[in-house]
Amino acid sequence: MVEVGSPIIECVPNFSEGVSPEKVRAIVSAMKVEGVSLLDYSLDNDHNRSVVTIAGAPEAVAEAAIRAAGKAAELIDLTRQEGVHPRIGAADVIPFVPVANYALPQCAMLARQAGQQIWLRYGIPVYFYEAAAARPDRVNLEDVRRGQFEGLRDAVRKDAARRPDIGGPELHATAGASAVGARKFLIAYNIYLHDPDVAIARAIAKEIRASGGGMHGIKAMGVLAQGRAQV
């Protein structure tokens, strides 16, 4: 039972596993921490990705997310993983979202603390993004994730500017790196096109997303999912 006035946050970690329900259930099970409620989780086979939503007391939610990152590193090998969704880590993104009696800057500080623990406990390097970004060029997640696991793995060996904020300098051999951040609420959904040409989906995504000069606050990408073009 949450007391009136207690701080509440949400965390929506994304994991690079959407094919094995057993692995995802094990990750979700690792997140069982007192003071944390599991709101939802889902798997997507084509994206080979799962999304978990938890909420509760800030410190407890952070602990649940940290443990989940460790479990994901045990179960997911990015050198063998394939999917249409960009990713740099087994626990790919871990965003903290303020819900009640807790501000975005506090979530950013919590993200920094969680990232430190992910490195110290499991040896997984961390990049901070959005409100938790340590550098202006890492505010946008797509900039952090440029090149995906394979490209980033090579880039950190050659370019100091691409190295993690915490840990490294190289990525974890099989779990990659995690992007840990703080942001406001995000509404995500997929739209399938009648035309199967993925180039059209990518052109639409480029046109509407903020980083391409589109609408403020919009993130978008075009992929081929279930044999159909998807935005």
Among 74, 72, 77, 80, CA closest to 50: 72
Structure tokens at 197: 């040409």
CA atoms within 13 A on the CB side of 119: 20
Residue the block writes with tokens 């279930």: 226
Asked about 85 being catalytic, the answer comes back as yes
Select which of 47, 85, 194, 216 is catalytic: 85
Instruction: State the SS3 of the chain.
Output: CCCCCCCEEEECCEECCCCCHHHHHHHHHHCCCCCEEEEEEEEECCCCEEEEEEEECHHHHHHHHHHHHHHHHHHCCCCCCCCCCCCCECEEEEEEEEEECCCHHHHHHHHHHHHHHHHHHHCCCEEEEECCCCCHHHCCHHHHCCCHHHHHHHHHHHCHHHCCCECCCCCECCCECEEEEECCCCCCCCCECCCCCHHHHHHHHHHHCHHHCCCCCCCCCCEEECCEEEC
For 203, phi and psi rounded to 5 degrees?
A: -65, -40
Give the active site residues: 85
